[in-house]
Amino acid sequence: MRLVFATNNPHKLHEIRSMLDNRFELLSLHDIGCSEEVPENGATLESNASEKAHYIFNKYWVNCFADDTGLEIEALNREPGVYSARYAGEQKNPADNIKRVIEKLQDKTNRNARFRCVISLVIDGRETQFEGIVNGKILTECRGSDGFGYDSVFLPDGYSQTFAEMPLDEKNKISHRGRAVQKFILFLTNQNV
């Protein structure tokens, strides 16, 4: 089955490709000739994922999916949440975002956080959403050089390595995106799509 992943993030594309088996041919936006920025104007992860998936389906008439992911920190009233990619500004600089999170948590003892991912799948115009959540803590400094976004400061519960220190296959088994993708694959398998 051919599916388009409605993202311009090469890290997300690589992660998802590593999770899918050969039943799926995963195409990028570049593969379908889409070079514009896909809109995400929603106030929630669910609405952003939906908007991106419908935008690609309605413009290119291809079965597709999109995700939106947020880091939700308890002591910051679930910030940065839907604004995770641009928490430190519209330039979407991951290092600046991490710096802002660490600074805002400087005097906090509660460092509990979770990553939440919502995937919107649009097949023949019908949408289905899948959610994945992983709980953990925010560290006081970065550890690891793999991964992207907040991976270097996020320590998942029950693990001694941040997402940025883990091998990709291990991260994919427990991550928010990995959990959402597992539900997504199970859905497609059960639908015989």
Domain ranges for the chain, please list them: 2-190
Q: What is the pTM of this model?
A: 0.91
Number of H helices, E strands in the chain: 5, 7
Model confidence pLDDT, tens digit, residues 120-146: 999 999 999 999 999 999 999 999 998
Q: What is the mean pLDDT of the chain?
A: 93
CB neighbours of 32 closer than 8 A, spacing ≥ 6? 4, 56, 60, 62
CA distance 119 to 107: 34
157 an active-site residue?
no
CA distance 117 to 45: 7
Catalytic residue, from 68, 107, 151, 157: name it.
Answer: 68
> How does pLDDT run across 50-99, given as a tens digit for each residue?
999 999 999 999 999 999 999 999 999 999 999 999 999 888 899 999 99
- Kind plus residue range of the DSSP H or E element containing 18: helix 10-19
Cα(113)–Cα(93) distance, rounded to whole angstroms? Answer: 20
Contact 63, 57 (CB under 8 A): yes
Residues 6+ apart with CB under 8 A from 179: 117, 132, 133, 134
- How far is the C-alpha of 173 from the C-alpha of 175, rounded, in Å? 6
Q: Looking at the domain 2-190, which fold is it?
A: Maf protein (3.90.950)
